[in-house]
């Protein structure tokens, strides 16, 4: 994890991050998506640098392992952001 950003490539990594951190900003994105890149920068800049129990969890919707998580969150377009606090 670098600068509060964690990348999940499958459902297990996603669930582990939600369980481990108090506050998780989930960012569904794709590398080819300009609005996703801009929103990703904005979200990262909003994350408090001194708060160690908050992360941005990025999920690339083009990766096969992310499909199940995307479906569970009803992601129909990107960028798509979900906030988890204490696992909810």
Coil, strand or helix: which one is 60?
Answer: strand
Query: Which one of 18, 36, 69, 78 is the catalytic residue?
Result: 36
Task: Identify the active-site residue in 33, 43, 66, 75.
Answer: 33
Query: Which two tokens mark 50?
Result: 């001194």
Measuring CA to CA, which residue among 11, 12, 10, 85 is closest to residue 55? 85
Active site residue 61: no
Burial of 16 (0-12, 13-18, 19+ CB in 10 A): middle
Q: Does the active-site annotation cover 33?
A: yes
Q: Which residues are catalytic?
A: 33, 36
């Amino acid at each position: 994890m670098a600068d509060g950003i964690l990348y999940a490539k499958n459902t297990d990594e996603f669930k582990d991050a939600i369980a481990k951190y108090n506050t998780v900003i989930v960012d569904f994105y794709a590398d080819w998506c300009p609005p996703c890149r801009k929103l990703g920068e904005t979200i990262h800049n909003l994350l408090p640098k001194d708060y160690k129990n908050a992360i941005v969890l990025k999920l690339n919707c083009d990766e096969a392992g992310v499909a199940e998580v995307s479906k569970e969150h009803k992601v129909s377009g990107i960028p798509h952001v979900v906030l988890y606090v204490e696992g909810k």
